[in-house]
Each structure stands twice: as structure tokens, then as C-alpha cells.
Amino acid sequence: MSNQPEQTFEHAIEANKDRIYRICRIYAVSPIEPKDLFQEVVFQAWKSYPQFACRSSIGTWIYRIALNVCLRSKMRLDKENERKVQVESIQFLPNTEGEDPAQKEKYSALRECISTLTESNRTLIILYLEELGYKEIAEVMGLTENHVAVKMKRIRAQLLDCITNKLK
């Protein structure tokens, strides 16, 4: 039977799986697939879990881990990341309904627009799209709330401008 911290971890991963996957989808660079990155995030989160100090919410902590793992993978900062972690108890099933073509087009446009941003702006906008408050974004990024607020205004305008042009 699982004890309390283990259950907390399981629940946190279950509750945040879609968020982690969305981040992985943005950062996965061939030959690494979003699902490889997802498994790596879950593995690294479990590895780092003893260091989780409850100073922030577990959701915010998972964002930190996900972004840090994804960034390291993208920048090839870890040799270990080149090795794929396969966790058999995590399954990825293709959505039977299939992806709506209009939605797919919009997502491609959004992805392209996000990729034009600088690395730090990209991370900020991802957290914003995840509907994190400025305080939480500041915590994840290691910036002040004020800086996040000022920057976000500019990045949002840039992103909206880009996507509007793409979807014209």
C-alpha cells in the first residue's frame, strides 16, 4: 500500500499530465518525441521529489521540473537525456476522435509563433497559456512579479500579432 508522499506524487502527476504533455510537445526536438520527453519529466520529477520542500505548490514545482528537463533536452545539456527513459506503466494512446484539422492548423500556427520567441520569452508564454498567475510564473522563472507583468504584456502582443497574421 502506498504511503502519503507517494500518493501525493502520483496524484500530482495524474493531475498535471496534460500540462506536462503540452510543454513536452513544444520542446521535443527530433529524434526525441514528446512522449520520450514526458517519460523523462516524470522520471526526473520522481528523482527530485525528495527535494520538494513544499515552499511552492506541487503543481508549480512540476512546472519547474518539466521546463528544466525540456530545456536541458533541447539544449542537449545532459548526456543522460540522450538516453531514452522507457517507463512501461505510462501509456500513450492515440486519440480515437482524431485531431480536428482546423484545430491542428491553429496549433501549428501557435507553435510556429512560439518558436520565433526567445528561449526565456517562450517559457514565459507557455506558463501564461497554462493560466498560471504572474506570482506563480515569477516563482517558476526566478524573476520578480513586476518583471513578469511588464514582459508579458509585450510578449502577448507579439504572439497575438504573429498568430493573427498566420491565420488570416
Partner 1 sequence: MLDKELKDIWRNSSQKEKIKFDLSRLLIDLNTKMEHLEKTIRRRDFREITACVIGFFLFGYFAYEIPFPITKAACIFAMFYFLYVVYRIKKAERKDSESGLSLSFRDQLVSRKIHLTRQADLLNSVLYWYVLPPFIMNIVFILGLGDPTVYHWEPRLLHLLPLTTPEKIKTIIILALFYSLIVWLNKRAVQKTLNPAIQEVKRVLKELENDLKSSTFDV
- 62-121 residues in contact with partner 1 (CB under 8 A) are 64-65, 67-69, 71-72, 75-77, 80, 85, 87-95, 97, 99, 103, 106-107, 110, 118-121
Nearer to partner 1, 31 or 79 (CB): 79
Neighbours of 17 (CB within 10 A): 15
What Å distances lie between residue 109 and 100, 120, 146, CA to CA? 14, 20, 29
Smallest separation, CB 110 to partner 1 (Å): 5
Q: Does 147 bind partner 1 (CB under 8 A)?
A: yes
Contact flags string 12-31 toward partner 1, x per CB under 8 A: -xx--xxx-xx--x------
Of 51, 42, 50, 1, which Cα lies nearest the Cα of 23?
Answer: 42
Q: Does 158 bind partner 1 (CB under 8 A)?
A: no
Nearer to partner 1, 32 or 110 (CB): 110
Nearest-angstrom CA–CA distance, 37 and 40:
5
Smallest separation, CB 137 to partner 1 (Å): 10
Query: What one-character-per-residue DSSP string does 21-41 give?
Result: HHHHHHH--TTS-HHHHHHHH
